[in-house]
Amino acid sequence: MYVCICNAITDKQIRAAAATGISDLWGLQKKLGVAAGCGSCKEHAMEVLKETQRMSAAEPRVYRPAIA
């Protein structure tokens, strides 16, 4: 789904950026150009970013011993 119409940026692109470590609007603007036009997408872009961060933090960590 498009989040930023001005720059044709999707929620998938925002999620991918979050996976690289971007954690704030400034990082999204620098990497993707989100909210660099009219700015009406700023809040929705941040919602997608925060949702992605919550999901990645909630993923269970599974212990897998190394094979010797």
Domain of 20?
2-55
Q: Cβ distance 32 to 41 under 8 Å?
A: no
Residue 15 covered by a domain = yes
Alpha-carbon gap, residue 19 to 62, rounded angstroms: 19
Q: Cβ distance 14 to 45 under 8 Å?
A: yes
Residue 62 covered by a domain = no
Residue 65 covered by a domain = no
Residue 61 covered by a domain = no
CATH of residue 10: 1.10.10.1100
Based on the structure, what is the number of domains in the chain?
A: 1
From first to last of its 68 residues, the chain has per-residue pLDDT tens of 999 999 999 999 999 999 999 999 999 999 999 999 899 999 999 999 999 988 876 666 677 788 86
Residue 68 covered by a domain = no
Residue 66 covered by a domain = no
31-3-22 Cα angle (round to 5): 30
- Tell me the one-letter amino acid at 65: P
Residue 64 covered by a domain = no
In this structure, the number of other CB atoms found within 10 A of the CB of residue 42 comes to 17
